[in-house]
Structure 1
Amino acid sequence: MTRSTEGTSQQLHLALRDALWLVPLVCLLGGAALCVAAAGIDRAAGGPLVPHWATGSATSAQTVLSTIVTSMVTLITLVLTVVTVAVQLAMGQFSPRIVGALLRDRPSQLTHGLFAATTVYALLAISQVDDVSSSDGYVPGLTVLLGELLMVASVVALVLYVHHAGQTLRVAGLIDLVGDHLHEQLRRVYPIDGSGGADRDPQEVTASEPGVVVMIDVPGIVAAAQAADCSLRLLPAMGDFVCAGAPMLVVTTGSGERLDHRRLARLVALSNERSYPDDPAYGFRQLVDIAERGVSSPFNDPTTSVQAIDRLHDALRQLATRPIPGGEHTDEHGVVRLTTPALDWTGYVRLAFDELRLAGAGSPQVARRLRAALEDLSLVAPASRRGEIDRQLELLTAGVGRAFDDQSDVESASIPDAQGIGSGADVVRESEVGQSAHHVRVRTGR
């Protein structure tokens, strides 16, 4: 083979590998071939292969197939339009270089191919139905039945495709899409040879794939450690990202020879992004993101930030008097079998207020609402948990002082206000009875 021929072959390979149309075109041709084969089987059988109730009369079969063609053409038009808009949005919000990964997404290509195959199959199948040759007409039962099954498969594929597209177009979905392609490239370009990998350490349980820790089966891990007569330490915290091959669990006492490493790895569930059920810190994280976005340019929507702080305040108030377990987990004999990273009260307070305090100190609404939340938490939290709240108040006071040049603005932004600006002591007037009741609440914490 000459050098020019090799170059042409490589160019053709690259063009076909990155082509969006290749898989749908192959599926379209497959749908046509399937129709020809099914029609041939029906005619060769010489009799009905499918019960009459499954296909109906010749007129009914033609109506069904015509409806399939019409609906599939409409569906393909709609899907392609939505895909085009989604790709444009992804280009504008994330990166124009993300388009290639989206177009090479194999599940999307297969879904489009199924739609195309169903359309051409039904279109060709209509001509196989004869409603005038006899009193009942001729109905190729297998051909019609396969058309109906393809339509059902298309409906199922549409539902799955909508779910897949929604997952893919999220930030985590797009990052994972590109990351998975990068993994494939690394495996292809830099394959592992026989001497490249190190021997498995029996004292470590490693991750088989990358992902974020979304669930930890503590009872299962404790039981496995007890059966192997050892103790384990979980390295990543809930919500941490773990690289493929990175250690997740290490043996702290005893030997890991008797541990089932694959089973233990499955007891720490990994996903492409954090979720709510076992990770309350993620709820705090999302509220903080909303609040911080509200005080950043070009949004400048401090009222939204105040609403998010309302829920952060409520969550911390519920947590203030509740016990927060540590990271030690014991078996029924009281032996510590698993140690995990655990967020404590200080961690939750810092998660809720550190970024907002820095970003929102220059916004009077946000600064006043933060002070109201912190002062209220100081009233309800036990004495052992007030240290971090007092620290946040001191830092907030310093941040407000740096954000405003005029002392009167500093004083105004330092007044606690549950509405940001709307219910502070400088904007509302209470009766003497109301003021007395407020003073009682401050003194008693009720």
Structure 2
Amino acid sequence: MPDSVGKPRRYRELTGLRLGTLVDRLRESLLFLPTVMLISALVLAEFFDHLDHRKIGPVIPERFQFAPEVVTVLLSTIAGAMITAAAVVFSLLLISLHLVSRQFSPRVLRGFWRDRFSHLLIGLLLSTFAFCVVALARVDVAQEFAPPYTVLFALVLTLGSVLGIVAYLDRVIRQQYIGNIMRRVLAESLYLIAGLPYGRHSGGQVGEPVTPPEPGSLGPSLVITAPFDGWVQQISRRGLMTAVPEGTVIRLETRVGAYLTKDTPLVTLWPPPPADQQHRIGQLVARSVVTAAARSMQHDIDFGIRQLNDLALRGLSDVNDPTTAAEAVARLGSLMRPLLMADLPARSVRDESGRVLLTPNDLDHAAYVRHAFDQINVYSADHPLVRETVTETIRMLQAASAGLPGREAARAELDRHLGTSRRHPLLTQAARADHFRSGDRRPRWRSATTRTG
């Protein structure tokens, strides 16, 4: 039976997994933070109304006390202006998303709709509107002065909203600069890399590395299929291990960042658990895998590589912006260097109860190198600036990984991309294919090959 001692740890980890997913999705929600701020504004309206009626606190100077007729016009004007400003901010946000999607890549949009400042500004505008409307209903024209604390706080909210709009205009312009987009993607990737091999965002250590057993020698197996479609965002390795009986060998048939198709194999178990436990184990296994409609940067380092690749390839496409492509390659070098120097989680581990977890689909250093440079090498043949940047970046990575144990396959991939491998001279072949075109037989590829070494 599944380990009863490991149940609390499994439930804690699965709860943390779901909570982390919820927090990540709330960060992307344009509704959550503004709603919280709107409710807070209504609570503050009640609080300041209490102060005004009880006459609690210091006395407001006369210069900040207004006649009810003046306050009625003032609050009405502010409320209308805030709704108009909110509509303008929404429009600017949508235009920014549209321009960035067309000019760069749809994958980098997540950085814009996750921008906390945009959420705060929209929440501030809506809060100011709601506060002014509630305050307007509290104004008594029969009194000599309008509620002073309420009016003063409404003016503070208005001033904050105006300053926030100006700051947002400056921010939205700077955010669309390609260098800032790449910097944000790189920073998110480096944050994940810093946690390798067993940090918070890499699955955690659930056992000691062991030599993987041969599946053919394990006998009959049970295949648990995926009950859902979607991109794999997180996997709880401890949840998988504690979901099965002791002594079970578990092979995970997917990885973080892969697309999971419903009813395809999710995990394979040796030996099969008892028939009366199979349904429950299948549910526990499914809960240990979190999927979504799109990839995210929660645990997915490869997604950062994909985004930088997209930016480089867009620069090499009809947009014809090799400078942007060269900068994206340079940022890839800043990502790949610490990744190559970091140890990756073992793909075969055994826990104290004899369970073995196999994760053969996890990316190794060589796979990361392929994902980083395969497409860029092919499409950069006509762009000497990009080719030169690729060459310099790969040589830097070769020097950084030289002598590190377990990096032999990665260094072979780097050699292949430089064209020094006899079996796979990829760079030379790409240049030769692209430059010897019909009607243009000049050997321009020779100079490009010389530049790449």
Q: Under TM normalisation by the shorter chain, which class is it?
A: 0.5 to 0.7
Shift of 1:343: 0.8
Alignment of 1:402 with 2:433, yes or no, is: yes
- Within a 5 Å distance, the mapping from 1:381-396 to structure 2 comes to 381=402, 383-392=408-417, 393=419, 394-396=425-427
Report the alpha carbon displacement of residue 365 of structure 1 after superposing the two structures with TM. Answer: 1.7
| 2:138 is equivalent to residue 125 of structure 1 | yes
- Say if 1:48 and 1:320 are closer, same or farther in 2 by CA, change over 3 A: closer
Whole-angstrom CA distance in 2 between matches of 1:84 and 1:116: 18
**TM-score (normalised: structure 1):** 0.53
One-letter amino acid of the counterpart of residue 219, structure 1? R
Structure 2 letter corresponding to 1:410: W
Residue 276 of structure 1, CA deviation: 3.5
Query: Is the 1:231–1:337 contact (alpha carbons within 8 Å) kept by the matching residues of 2?
Result: yes
* Aligned residue pairs, count: 309
* Structure 2 stretches lacking a partner, 5+ long: 1-41, 103-118, 177-221, 420-424
Does the 8 Å CA contact 1:367/1:414 hold for their aligned counterparts? no
CA offsets, 1:356-414, max 9 Å, x none?
01111111122233334445555655555443334332111111123335666323212
2:271 is equivalent to residue 240 of structure 1: no
- For 1:7-406, list aligned pairs within 5 A: 51-53=54-56, 59=65, 62=68, 68-87=75-94, 120-126=133-139, 128-132=140-144, 204=224, 206-207=226-227, 211-226=230-245, 230-242=248-260, 248-255=266-273, 256-257=277-278, 259=280, 264-298=285-319, 300-320=320-340, 323-339=343-359, 341-375=361-395, 377=397, 380-381=401-402, 383-392=408-417, 393=419, 394-405=425-436
Cα distance change of structure 1 residues 56 and 213 upon mapping to structure 2, 3 Å threshold? farther
Shift of 1:77: 0.8
Q: What percentage of aligned pairs have identical amino acids?
A: 25
CA distance 1:398–1:245, change in 2 (3 Å): closer
Matched residue SS, 2:366: helix
- Contact preservation (8 Å) 1:370, 1:416: no
Q: Is the 8 A contact 1:223 1:331 kept in 2?
A: no
Larger CA Rg, structure 1 vs 2: 1
Cα–Cα, structure 1 residues 325 and 70, in superposed 2: closer, same or farther, change >3 Å?
Answer: same
Sort the Cα spacing of 1:91 and 1:286 in 2 relative to 1 into closer, same or farther, 3 A: closer
Distance 2:340 2:93 in 1: 43
CA distance in 1, matches of 2:96, 2:429: 41
Assess if the C-alpha contact under 8 Å between 1:205 and 1:264 holds in 2. no
Q: Distance in 2 between matches of 1:292 and 1:224?
A: 43
> Quick one: distance in 2 between partners of 1:307 and 1:91?
22
CA distance in 2, matches of 1:265, 1:130: 65
Change (3 A) 1:240 1:72: farther
Tell which deviates more after alignment, 346-355 or 398-407. 398-407
The Cα offsets for residues 308-332 of structure 1, whole Å up to 9 and x where unpaired, read as 2223334444444654444333212
TM-score using structure 2 length:
0.52
Query: Match for 1:235: what amino acid?
Result: E
> CA contact under 8 A between 1:69 and 1:122: conserved in structure 2?
no
Counterpart amino acid of residue 399 in structure 1 = A
Q: In structure 2, what is the Cα distance between the partners aligned to 1:138 and 1:324?
A: 66
Aligned partner of 2:26 in structure 1 is none
Q: CA offset at residue 118 of structure 1? A: 5.2
SS in 2 for 1:82: helix
